[in-house]
Amino acid sequence: MLPSILPGSRLHLALRDSADAGIEVGDVVCFLDESRRFVAHRVVAMVGAGGRRRLTVAGDWSGGRCAVDEAAVVGVVTRVEHPILSYDTRGRIGRMLARWALERPASFRGAALAAAVVARLCGTAAHALRAGLHR
C-alpha cells in the first residue's frame, strides 16, 4: 500500500458491522484472502447493491486488481499511524492520498519507491538507536 501506508504502520479499523464502516470507493479495507491472511487494499470500484456487493480492490503501488465479496471485508481503515506519517483516512491527508491513488499518476510509483526507501532508512536508524541505548 505504499506510499499511503508505510511498512510497520498501525491500522485502526471500523469493523464491518459498525455504523462507521460504510464502504466507499477510495476507502482502504481489510479482508481475508483465499489463504486466510489479512490484506489491506484500496477499493477502486463496486458493483451490486446491499450486502451482496463485489468490490474491486488493489494495492496503491500494484497494478493488479482483484474482486472481493463485501462479506469478506473485516473492516474499513479509519486511521493510519506511523512515526513518519499518521492521518485519518477520511481526513484531509487521507482523502488526498485516496484521490492520488485512484488517479494513479505516473509519479505515484516514484513516490511509492521514495516512501519505501525513507521508511527503510528510518527503520534502520531507529534500530541502530535502540541498539546503542541497550549497550
Residue for cell digits 464491518?
16
Helix (H, G, I), strand (E, B), or coil: what is residue 75? strand
Q: Are 85 and 118 in contact (CB under 8 A)?
A: no
pLDDT in tens, the chain (135 residues): 888 898 889 999 999 876 666 899 999 999 988 898 999 999 999 998 766 789 999 988 776 799 999 888 999 999 999 988 899 999 999 999 998 888 865 555 566 666 666 666 666 554 444 555 444
* Distance from C-alpha of 54 to C-alpha of 7, rounded to nearest angstrom: 27
The pLDDT value recorded for residue 54 is 92
Nine cell digits for residue 107:
509519479
Structural element, H or E, at residue 42: strand 38-47
| C-alpha triplet 67, 96, 94: angle, nearest 5° | 70
Backbone angles phi and psi of 21, in degrees to 5: -100, 25
Q: Is 73 exposed, middle or buried (0-12, 13-18, 19+ CB in 10 A)?
A: buried
Verdict on whether the full-model pTM lies above 0.85: no
* Cβ partners under 8 Å of residue 96, min gap 6: none
